[in-house]
Amino acid sequence: MLIISENELVHTDDFNDVIEHFGIKGMKWGIRSRHKDLKDTYADYKEASRHSNNLFPAALNPNHPHYKLARATMHEAAAMESLYKSKMYSYLHREKAEKAKQRGKKVKDKVTKKLKKKNDINYQNYVGHHSLAGKYFDAYRNQ
C-alpha cells in the first residue's frame, strides 16, 4: 500500500491496512446458507429454465413434433420461477417477523399485507402454470 504524507512517499506492507471480504466464494447474493430449501428451489428453477430455452424454437411452431413438450417445459419453468418467488417472499416475511420480535416490535401491517399478496400471487401463478404443464405433458405422451 502506498501512502503519501506531508509530500513524502511512505510505503508499508502492514496487512492491517487492507480491507478484505470474508464472504463465501460462489454464494449468490441474497440467498443465505440457512435457506437450503430456497437454494434447491432456485436450482430447480434455473434447470427448468435451461430446458425451456433449449426447446424454445419448437414452442413457436405448432407443427413441430415436439411442440407440446416445448410448451410443457415453458410452463414448468414459469411454474418453478413462481414457486421460487413465493418461497422467497415467505422466508422474507418470516425473517422480518423474527427480527421484529427480537427487538420487541411487530412487523407493520402494510409490509405484511404486501409480502402476503406477493406470496399469494406467485403461488397462484405456480398452480396455473404447473397445471398447464401437466396438460401439455399428457398431450405429448398421448401423441
- Residue 137's Cβ-count burial label (10 Å; 0-12, 13-18, 19+) is middle
Check residue 67 and give its pLDDT.
94
Average of per-residue pLDDT across 4-12: 65
Q: Is the pLDDT at 71 greater than 60, yes or no?
A: yes
pLDDT class of 22 with cuts at 50, 70, 90: low
Q: Could you tell me the three cell numbers for 82?
A: 413462481
Q: Could you tell me the three cell numbers for 106?
A: 411487530
Q: Is the pLDDT at 136 greater than 60, yes or no?
A: yes
Check residue 20 and give its pLDDT.
62
Check residue 18 and give its pLDDT.
58
pTM attached to this predicted model: 0.71
pLDDT class of 73 with cuts at 50, 70, 90: very high
Check residue 77 and give its pLDDT.
95
Average of per-residue pLDDT across 78-99: 92
Average of per-residue pLDDT across 57-78: 94
- The neighbour count for residue 92, using CB atoms within 10 Å, is 15
**What is the helix, strand, coil percentage profile of the chain, to 5?**
65, 5, 25
The model's pLDDT over 102-122, given as tens digits with 9 standing for 90+, comes to 999 998 999 999 999 999 999
Check residue 62 and give its pLDDT.
93
